[in-house]
């Protein structure tokens, strides 16, 4: 199932993945082949079949509204690439 | 303007004031130092998993019932996928096509009352807070840097979506006022727009009466009821102008700038975001059983809308609205229980500062009596919560209504103030207040102001 | 005493410790010594701990398991240097039982792969033949156990990532019933498929470790209590057992003759041990299992990997521009090719206009697969097949073509789609390389799988020490 360069670019944008021209073309080829293989699922007529979102029939797993200790701030920021004054720093939107 | 009908739907978010966040057990809080109410889950560390807050689910069900909704037999959490620094997982856990509550209705009572359909109420988690810093280097450029505080991230939010049943900015304001009060009385949220615990976006379009729906605009970033009303009006005006000029109204999102009464396009994007909703695989469905729903229903108090309707029988719709929405109701109820008629009780509670826990029966006796001095009623009100308070001593303080006592006094005051008399007779009718005031002063507040007024007027007009 | 780490089972090690014949520190040192000797060649480990942190049997964790204060990378550059601030629940449970962490093992990046060649830190090598892959994505854990560098290890299995490397390395691997082992602290790949499980030398060791880690975790809403306690297997017969041989799993295209022969021999052995054996059909599960998996898993992964954005932890690309550039460059630099492919595939499968045909349809196929397996498991207690169509393949043999690599899991994937447990035990050699037998049972049938696996293991007598290391 061939997908176009534009489609790949659109998906890459949604996924926030930078792709060079070369990477884009390689990705397009590989995705086309993979989509061809997985697109097989469309062969089956499953109009009346319910989807399975979970392997188990669990429902109503809820927790009591009782607080647990939060992380000390140093730990919360321990792995932060750009901490500032207790905040996580990022470039502006 | 009268040839056009405004069509408004609202999207309201309220912070639930649970003790912990929606999907982790960090305490919720406001105004704490940044990033002190976080954990690996709400920071979206690798390998972390959400666990839903039972109280948040129960309160959403309660709210749904209060909005006349049907509680879903099966409710599912979905992932809403998008990238933003305040959205640490890169998706928000929300609800999509299987929300907790659907198909309700909310009645705004009154002669000009109306009903608003509630499409749905669902549960989701709030985003974190981002602070945008200005550029450095002496120039005021756009923000170059942002700082993120995850304390708020993960707080439970209930989202309410209405049908586009509102027809004016004022309707929207009244609806929001009553909705807010309902939410607060349920005990599930403080719902304050200034604090950000209540947020409201509006979807606005216009049409000729009888038509189908035309294109709408989404309005965001209005943080008071009056700004929302003004934003709606601004949007309606702008759309009418476009339609009348034969131009197209394009579906857009706007921020309403209250300072300049303008609509500015919301953050511009080349393409609309595709949220790629799918059922949250880390969570299992919620299937509220009859017991859970019945328990929630049993906890519902008599809601403000119903109480307004009830009080309307005695007070009329307008006064009933004022009574219930200004929080004076319990005082009226106290006086009525104490034996006072509702109309008199209404006038008293709206105009006086009645203390908490007075002796209602005795206070009712004071208010029921006629001809007491103003001072006596005030003093009685102030003392009504004191132990052993009775009406008796105040009932004795009748205002002087005896014209034979008052006439000489009035004659003297008129004689002493010829200038004002002349001015009054020359047309300055407002000066009656001056004479009444003087007489009240001379009688130490004991004259009956109504009688005074009549007598003074008679004499002045003679 | 000298510890023969190549032969020592966890059960035996526990015995040595109990009897005071060896101390935890001595045991730890013995494994470090073995690692020093052989891991240069095998590259099973990403890092090791110098000191034991428990008094019990040492264990290795796949680097997908969060370990507090110990670097956890999930085989990716995007988490280079990342030190979790909490332990995964399975780690805590191991520590509570006194198990002592030896180190973190190599893996395909974000558990995406079947050979460890997708690791950002270099591939691991098969102890049976270092020019070949150990399988993946838990290849490091499998190589460590097979190579005598750990008595047992934890791995994770989404599309066969415990079973297949166990088969390729000649050891035992259990992919548990979905929901019986906590995923809290496990770097997520595909949430509705990921499960942590044991890689061990023997079936009894497997049961021992499963017993330690299994059971409901309040931190993971998708877990349940085990309906019955885990039993250590003892019997050596299969009397009264009905063994099913699904035709599509056993005759799939690409199964090597040597693999088929070893598995057929094991099936005959089942009969000799008293089981009744019969053929059965899984008409759609094998043909549509892979496409189903390669839609659902990447879709969930595309969402699970969105958090790797350079904002709160992990690698952040140095950029001049704004936020979008930061996201795009960080993820471009930090992710390898396979995660990128799967993120793209998954994003596409969920995107507007494609959801129904791809992700939506795949979730329905999943229902069909579940129904097919449940149907045959009415007539049979356990199903058997090869775990992998081939023995260990040479490094580099499948890296040029993603689809060729995906086919490694053709046989392991279908039961996973149904949430079923699978135990892989070595059943023989083909061309001198181990062949794995996959045992599939209903949900919560681990005790049955252990019983069957143990009986076969005893009867087969496979020597799990690689020939070249004996």
Q: Provide the pLDDT for residue B362.
A: 93
| Residue C361 to residue A41, Cβ atoms within 8 A | yes
Report the relative pairing of strands A83-84 and A87-91 from DSSP bridges: antiparallel
Q: Provide the pLDDT for residue B1.
A: 47
Q: How many CA atoms lie within 13 A of C54 on its CB side?
A: 20
Q: Provide the pLDDT for residue B396.
A: 78
Minimum mean pLDDT among B167-181, B305-319, B345-359, B429-443: which range?
Answer: B429-443
Structural tokens at position C135:
């399988």
Distance from CA of C113 to the nearest CA of B (A): 19
Count other C-beta atoms under 10 Å from residue B207's C-beta. Answer: 16
Residue C161 is a catalytic residue: yes
Partner residues linked to B104 by β-bridges? B118
> For chain C, what is the total number of helices (H) and then of strands (E)?
15, 11
Q: Provide the pLDDT for residue B2.
A: 60
Distance (Å, rounded) from C-alpha B428 to C-alpha B409? 22
Residue A35 lies in a domain: yes
- Check which CATH number belongs to the domain holding A25 and give it: 1.10.20
pLDDT at B136 over 60: no
Distance from CA of C321 to the nearest CA of B (A): 9
Closest chain A residue to C367, measured at CA: A52
| Residue B39 to residue A70, Cβ atoms within 8 A | yes
Domain count, chain C: 1
User: Who wins on pLDDT, B455 or C343?
Assistant: C343
Digit-coded pLDDT (tens) for B252-281: 999 998 889 999 988 655 456 899 999 999
- Check which CATH number belongs to the domain holding C53 and give it: 3.90.1300.10
pLDDT band at B139 (very low <50, low <70, confident <90, very high): very low
Compute the average pLDDT of residues C118-142. 98
Digit-coded pLDDT (tens) for B60-107: 999 999 999 999 999 999 999 999 999 999 999 999 999 999 999 999
Output the CA torsion sign for C147, C149, C151, C155. Answer: negative
Q: Provide the pLDDT for residue B267.
A: 66
What residues in A contact C326, CB-CB < 8 Å?
Answer: 90-91
**Could you tell me the end-to-end alpha-carbon distance of chain B, in angstroms, rounded to an integer?**
52
Q: CATH number of the domain at B403-461, please?
A: 1.10.10.410
Q: Provide the pLDDT for residue B272.
A: 64
| Residue A15 to residue C284, Cβ atoms within 8 A | no
Q: Provide the pLDDT for residue B111.
A: 83
Q: Provide the pLDDT for residue C355.
A: 95
- DSSP letters, C85-134, are SS--HHHHHHHHTT-EEEEEE--SGGG--SSSTT-TT----BTTBTTB--
Domain positions in chain B:
5-298, 328-395, 403-461
- The enclosing H or E element of A12 equals helix A5-14
pLDDT at C158 over 70: yes
pLDDT at B171 over 80: yes
Domain count, chain A: 1
Compute the average pLDDT of residues B317-341. 93
Digit-coded pLDDT (tens) for C163-215: 999 999 999 999 999 999 999 999 999 999 999 999 999 999 999 999 999 99
User: CB of C333 within 8 A of CB of C316?
Assistant: no
Distance from CA of A69 to the nearest CA of B (A): 7
| Residue A44 to residue C361, Cβ atoms within 8 A | yes
Q: Mark B238-261 as b/e (b = at least 16 C-beta within 10 Å).
A: bbbeebeeeeebeeebbbbebeee
Q: For residue C294, give the nearest of A15, A38, A58 by CB distance.
A: A38
Compute the average pLDDT of residues C309-323. 94
Q: Provide the pLDDT for residue B374.
A: 82
pLDDT at C288 over 50: yes
Q: Provide the pLDDT for residue B140.
A: 38
Q: For residue C364, give the nearest of A19, A49, A79 by CB distance.
A: A49
| Residue C403 to residue A38, Cβ atoms within 8 A | no
Task: State percent of chain C over pLDDT 70.
Answer: 100
Q: Is C135 helix (H, G, I), strand (E, B) or coil?
A: coil
Residue A83 lies in a domain: no
pTM of the shown model: 0.92
Residue C322 lies in a domain: no
pLDDT digit string (tens) for chain A, length 93 residues: 889 999 999 999 999 999 999 999 999 999 999 999 999 999 999 999 999 989 999 999 999 999 999 999 999 999 999 999 999 999 987
Residue A81 lies in a domain: no
| Residue A65 to residue B19, Cβ atoms within 8 A | yes
pLDDT at B138 over 50: no
pLDDT at C416 over 90: yes
Look up the domain containing C18 and give its range. Answer: 10-241+422-427+434-464
pLDDT band at B446 (very low <50, low <70, confident <90, very high): confident
Q: Of B126, B51, B36, nearest to B84 (Cα)?
A: B126
Look up the domain containing A11 and give its range. Answer: 5-42
User: Who wins on pLDDT, B3 or C332?
Assistant: C332
| DSSP 8-class letter at B278 | E
What residues in C contact A34, CB-CB < 8 Å?
Answer: 294, 341, 345, 402-403
Compute the average pLDDT of residues B422-440. 89
Q: Provide the pLDDT for residue C413.
A: 98
Q: For residue B147, give the nearest of A16, A64, A88 by CB distance.
A: A88
């Amino acid at each position: 199932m061939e997908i176009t360069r534009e489609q790949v670019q659109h998906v890459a944008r949604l996924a926030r993945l930078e792709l060079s021209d070369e990477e884009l073309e390689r990705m397009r080829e590989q995705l086309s082949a993979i989509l061809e293989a997985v697109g097989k699922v469309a062969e089956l007529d499953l109009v009346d079949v319910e989807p399975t979102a979970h392997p188990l029939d669990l429902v109503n797993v809820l927790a009591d509204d009782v607080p647990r200790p939060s992380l000390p701030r140093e730990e919360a920021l321990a792995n932060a690439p750009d901490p500032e004054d207790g905040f996580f720093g990022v470039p502006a939107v | 303007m009268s040839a056009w009908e405004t069509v408004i739907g609202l999207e309201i978010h309220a912070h639930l004031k649970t003790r912990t966040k929606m999907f982790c057990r960090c305490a919720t809080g406001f105004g704490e130092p940044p990033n002190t109410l976080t954990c690996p889950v709400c920071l979206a560390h690798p390998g972390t998993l959400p666990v839903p807050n039972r109280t948040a689910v129960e309160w959403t069900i309660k709210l749904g019932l209060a909005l006349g909704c049907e509680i879903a037999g099966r409710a599912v959490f979905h992932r809403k996928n998008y990238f933003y620094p305040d959205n640490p997982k890169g998706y928000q856990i929300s609800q999509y096509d299987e929300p907790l509550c659907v198909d309700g209705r909310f009645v705004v009572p009154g002669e000009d009352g109306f009903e608003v359909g509630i499409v749905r109420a669902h549960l989701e988690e709030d985003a974190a807070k981002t602070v945008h810093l200005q550029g450095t280097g002496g120039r005021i450029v756009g923000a170059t840097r942002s700082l993120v505080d995850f304390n708020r991230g993960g707080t439970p939010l209930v989202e309410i979506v209405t049908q586009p049943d509102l027809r004016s900015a004022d309707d929207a304001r009244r609806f929001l006022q009553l909705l807010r009060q309902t939410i607060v009385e349920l005990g599930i949220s403080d719902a304050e727009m200034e604090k950000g615990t209540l947020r409201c976006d509006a979807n606005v379009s216009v049409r000729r009466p009888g038509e189908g729906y035309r294109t709408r605009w989404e309005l965001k970033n209005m943080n008071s009821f009056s700004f929302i009303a003004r934003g709606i009006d601004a949007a309606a005006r702008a759309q009418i102008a476009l339609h009348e000029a034969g131009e197209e109204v394009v579906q857009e999102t706007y921020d309403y700038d209250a300072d300049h009464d303008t609509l500015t396009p919301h953050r511009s994007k080349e393409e609309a975001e595709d949220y790629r909703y799918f059922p949250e695989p880390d969570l299992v469905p919620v299937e509220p059983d009859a017991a859970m729903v019945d328990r929630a229903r049993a906890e519902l108090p008599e809601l403000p809308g119903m109480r307004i309707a009830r009080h309307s029988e005695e007070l009329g719709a307008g006064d009933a609205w004022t009574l219930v929405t200004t929080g004076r109701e319990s005082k009226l109820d106290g006086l009525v229980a104490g034996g006072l008629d509702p109309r008199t009780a209404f006038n008293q509670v709206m105009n006086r500062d009645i203390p908490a826990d007075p002796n209602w029966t005795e206070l009712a006796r004071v208010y029921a009596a006629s001809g007491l001095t103003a001072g006596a009623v005030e003093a009685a009100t102030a003392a009504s919560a004191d132990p052993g308070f009775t009406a008796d001593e105040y009932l004795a303080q009748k205002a002087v209504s005896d014209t034979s006592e008052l006439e000489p006094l009035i004659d003297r005051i008129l004689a002493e103030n010829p200038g004002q008399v002349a001015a009054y007779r020359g047309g300055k009718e407002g000066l009656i207040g001056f004479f009444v005031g003087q007489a009240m002063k001379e009688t130490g507040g004991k004259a009956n102001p109504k009688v005074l007024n009549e007598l003074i007027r008679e004499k002045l007009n003679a | 005493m000298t510890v023969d780490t190549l032969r020592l089972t966890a059960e035996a090690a526990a015995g040595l410790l109990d009897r005071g014949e060896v101390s935890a520190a001595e045991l730890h040192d013995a494994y470090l010594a073995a690692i020093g000797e052989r891991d240069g060649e095998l590259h099973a480990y990403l890092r090791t701990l110098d000191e034991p942190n428990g008094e019990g049997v040492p264990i290795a964790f796949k680097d997908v398991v969060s370990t507090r204060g110990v670097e956890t990378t999930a085989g990716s550059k995007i988490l280079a240097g990342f030190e979790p601030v909490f332990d995964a629940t399975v780690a805590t449970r191991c520590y509570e039982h006194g198990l002592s962490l030896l180190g973190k093992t190599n893996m395909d990046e974000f558990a995406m792969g079947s050979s460890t060649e997708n690791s950002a830190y270099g591939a691991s090598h098969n102890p049976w033949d270092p020019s070949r892959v150990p399988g993946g994505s838990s290849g490091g854990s499998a190589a460590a156990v097979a190579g005598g560098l750990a008595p047992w290890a934890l791995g994770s299995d989404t599309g066969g990532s415990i079973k297949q490397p166990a088969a390729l390395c000649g050891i035992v691997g259990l992919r548990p019933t979905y929901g019986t082992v906590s995923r809290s602290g496990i770097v997520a790949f595909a949430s509705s498929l990921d499960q942590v499980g044991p890689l061990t030398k023997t079936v009894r060791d497997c049961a021992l470790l499963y017993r330690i880690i299994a059971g409901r975790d309040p931190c993971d809403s998708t877990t349940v209590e085990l309906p019955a306690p885990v039993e250590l297997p003892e019997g050596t017969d299969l009397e009264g057992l009905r063994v099913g041989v699904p035709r599509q799993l056993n005759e799939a295209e690409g199964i090597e003759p040597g693999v088929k022969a070893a598995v057929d021999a094991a099936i005959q052995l089942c009969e000799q041990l008293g089981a009744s054996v019969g053929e059965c059909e899984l008409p759609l599960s094998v043909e549509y299992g892979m496409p189903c998996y390669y839609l659902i898993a990447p879709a969930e992964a595309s969402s699970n990997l969105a958090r790797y954005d350079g904002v709160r932890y992990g690698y952040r690309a140095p950029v001049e521009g704004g936020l979008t550039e930061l996201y795009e460059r960080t993820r471009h630099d930090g992710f390898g090719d396979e995660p990128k492919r799967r993120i793209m595939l998954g994003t596409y499968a969920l995107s507007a206009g494609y959801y129904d045909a791809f992700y939506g349809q795949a979730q329905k196929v999943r229902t069909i697969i579940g129904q097919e397996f449940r149907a045959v498991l009415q007539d049979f207690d356990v199903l058997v097949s090869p775990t992998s169509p081939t023995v260990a393949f040479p490094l580099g043999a499948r890296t040029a073509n993603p689809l060729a690599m995906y086919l490694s899991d053709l046989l392991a994937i279908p039961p996973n789609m149904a949430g079923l447990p699978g135990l892989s035990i070595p059943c023989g050699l083909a061309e001198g390389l181990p062949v794995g037998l996959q045992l599939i049972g209903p949900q919560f049938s681990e005790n049955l799988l252990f019983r069957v696996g143990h009986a076969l293991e005893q009867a087969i007598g496979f020597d799990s020490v690689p020939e070249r290391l004996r």
